[in-house]
Amino acid sequence: MTDAEINSMSFEDAMKELESVVGKLEHGDATLEQSIALYERGARLRAHCERRLRQAEERVEKIMLSASGEPAGTTPVEGL
């Protein structure tokens, strides 16, 4: 799987693929070379998932509540 293919994956698809890679590594049936390739693929998938999460965090907005507890608007999350 190329970096371009990984970069085009949704967060959910990348997580499923990462879980599959981890499962294959945990099962222990892969050769050393296959294990190394799986590990490298898993590292790329993990990095992609982390990027997607960071992007999502940057878009999250905090809901402002009025004195009565009703939503009164939104503001960007602090620190992002």
Q: Chunked in runs of 10, what are the mean pLDDT values of the chain (80 residues)?
A: 90 96 94 96 97 82 65 64
**In this structure, are residues 3 and 45 in contact, taking their beta carbons and an 8 Å threshold?**
no
Q: How many CA atoms lie within 13 A of 34 on its CB side?
A: 10
pTM for the full predicted model: 0.73
Q: What is the pLDDT of residue 49?
A: 97
pLDDT in tens, 36-45: 999 999 999 9
Q: What is the pLDDT of residue 45?
A: 97
Q: What is the pLDDT of residue 57?
A: 75
Q: Which domains does the chain have, with CATH numbers?
A: 3-67 (1.10.287)
